[in-house]
Amino acid sequence: MLDLTYETPKPKVIAGAKHDWELVIGLEVHAQVATNAKLFSGASTQFGAEPNSNVAFVDAGMPGMLPVINEECVAQAVRTGLGLKADINLYSAFDRKNYFYPDLPQGYQISQLYHPIVGEGEVHVDMEPGIARTVRIERIHLEQDAGKSIHDMDPAMSFVDLNRTGVALMEIVSRPDIRGPEEAAAYVSKLRQIMRYLGTCDGNMQNGNLRADVNVSICLPGAYEKYMGTQDFSHLGTRCEIKNMNSLRFIQQAIEVEAKRQIAIVEAGGEVEQETRLYDPDKGETRSMRSKEEAHDYRYFPCPDLLPLEIEQDWVDDLASKLPELPDEKRLRFISDFGLSEYDAAVLTADTTNAAYFEQVAEGRDGKLAANWVINELFGRLKKDDDKSITQSPVTPEQLGGIIDLITSDAISGKIAKDLFEIVYTEGGDPAEIVEARGMKQVTDTGAIEAAVDEIIAANPDQVAKAKENPKLAGWFVGQVMKATGGKANPKAVNQLVAKKLNG
């Protein structure tokens, strides 16, 4: 397999009033596990169900109810860990994180503080073709999601919807290896892409099934390299954590304004306080939610209701052997097998449906030509057509392949192929039959082309004289011949004949 070497992107630098500052960012991403049932109950995880209809007794914290681990949630966390090239811990355990909140009827969240199911891994975050950042993963643990308090339905009362209570989350904790707002967004989208390939999280940020806590600090140029050399956090600045971000755009904005806030504090001689903040997109500012002193004491302790989670290496190996091809591998394969540019390969592997469509078109054909047709013609046309997705494409891979075959066999010109594509897109049908029935075949018969060239030359003696002086004017004759033949003449043959006749 082709292996590419990547350049590390430069960190984002923000100019302060006194000197330049760099950013250091670490993310805690909460990804809802794609399963039918919750982490410790059989209740459904279906989004948008009638409030409080997907609630088992254990989710509602009824006395005497015991949690029972859902094996599929464990399998999904293991698959995610494998997809992030991470260590899988055969021994992990659940802990209680105690706090009171109306949307948490148990009075504690079951999580994995001391022994997470997944250990260290890494993600390759592509910034531009040939430029990528490796972000280390510290851990992934499984935990329960909370319910939802609703404060805006009644002036005097709050409501609670427990449908989400107890749904499995994977918390994916990165090392502070992210160096700018764009990288943070690219990191989240890469995680989302990998999990979608794996089928372990839908990654729908609007529905809240992928959200991130964003930790931001600032440092002077050179400090991060010292940290990387020693793993000593004292080289880094004090971080603030911006909670619960569920939009890539807001993540970037929040990092930007938070970094500027910290720079202003430090340059004025103050110190950044470690605290939890919220981003207000309307005001474009972050606000303190709670300081370190106000931080909860969660009184973590091992959950007495659950045995430690022990899994077998054979089971992990079996899951690993059934893992689908992942985005990086698919991209590299597209580059080496189909001769695509890094950019085209990235576009075509953005999701598995695009990739599968392309592979059907490219199989046994010129890969670059196929990529060109899928990206420029088909994606462009779908975008114009109400931003349709590839699954809604009226043109099947077989039809698009048929059009490409007609081009490569010289049956039609590239220009006619575009007309043909439009016909297939709007009316359907077999491309070869359409070309036959509508007389769209390219004229490769040099005799016929020659006659057309002779006719144009004879009718335009002035142009001929000019073209003899200035060979660039030959293009005008080519254009006339193409027009006279309704675009069906083989452009290569026309060019050759025009050149020959003008010079001869």
Query: Under the rule (CB under 6 A), what is the footprint of ligand ADP?
Result: 24-28, 173-176, 215-217, 233, 236-237, 239, 241
| Cα Rg, the chain, nearest whole Å | 30
Smallest distance, ligand ADP to C-beta of residue 219, A: 8
Cα–Cα nearest to 320, from 84, 91, 124: 84
Residue nearer to ligand ADP on the CB measure, 212 or 374 = 212
Residue nearer to ligand ADP on the CB measure, 217 or 253 = 217
Q: Contact at 8 Å (CB) between 21 and 199? A: no
Residue nearer to ligand ADP on the CB measure, 111 or 163 = 111
Q: How far apart are CA 166 and CA 143, in angstroms?
A: 8
Distance from chain centroid for Cα 342 = 15
Q: Give the DSSP letter string of 17-58.
A: SSSEEEEEEEEEEEEE---SB-SSS--B--TTPSTT-S--TT
Residue nearer to ligand ADP on the CB measure, 148 or 175 = 175
Q: For residue 255, what are the CA distances in angstroms to 101, 296, 429?
A: 28, 24, 51
Smallest distance, ligand ADP to C-beta of residue 29, A: 9
Nearest residue to the partner ligand ADP, using Cβ: 26
Smallest distance, ligand ADP to C-beta of residue 275, A: 11
Smallest distance, ligand ADP to C-beta of residue 226, A: 12
Smallest distance, ligand ADP to C-beta of residue 188, A: 12
Q: Contact at 8 Å (CB) between 176 and 25? A: yes
* Residues ≥6 apart with Cβ < 8 Å to 365: 401, 404, 405, 408
Residue nearer to ligand ADP on the CB measure, 187 or 373 = 187
Residue nearer to ligand ADP on the CB measure, 97 or 196 = 97
Amino acid sitting at position 31: A
Smallest distance, ligand ADP to C-beta of residue 136, A: 9
Q: E strand or H helix at 223, and its extent?
A: helix 223-230
Q: For residue 153, what are the CA distances in angstroms to 73, 178, 269?
A: 33, 39, 45
Smallest distance, ligand ADP to C-beta of residue 293, A: 14
Residue nearer to ligand ADP on the CB measure, 144 or 480 = 144
Residue nearer to ligand ADP on the CB measure, 56 or 272 = 272
Q: How far apart are CA 393 and CA 387, in angstroms?
A: 10
Q: Contact at 8 Å (CB) between 141 and 111? A: yes
Q: How many CB atoms lie within 10 A of CB 454?
A: 12
Q: Following CA atoms 39, 43, 45, 46 in sequence, which dihedral angle do they give, to the nearest 10 degrees? A: 170
Residue nearer to ligand ADP on the CB measure, 185 or 416 = 185
Smallest distance, ligand ADP to C-beta of residue 15, A: 20
* Residues ≥6 apart with Cβ < 8 Å to 308: 91, 92, 93, 115
Strand-pair partners of 123? 135
Smallest distance, ligand ADP to C-beta of residue 227, A: 8
Smallest distance, ligand ADP to C-beta of residue 113, A: 9
Residue nearer to ligand ADP on the CB measure, 173 or 320 = 173
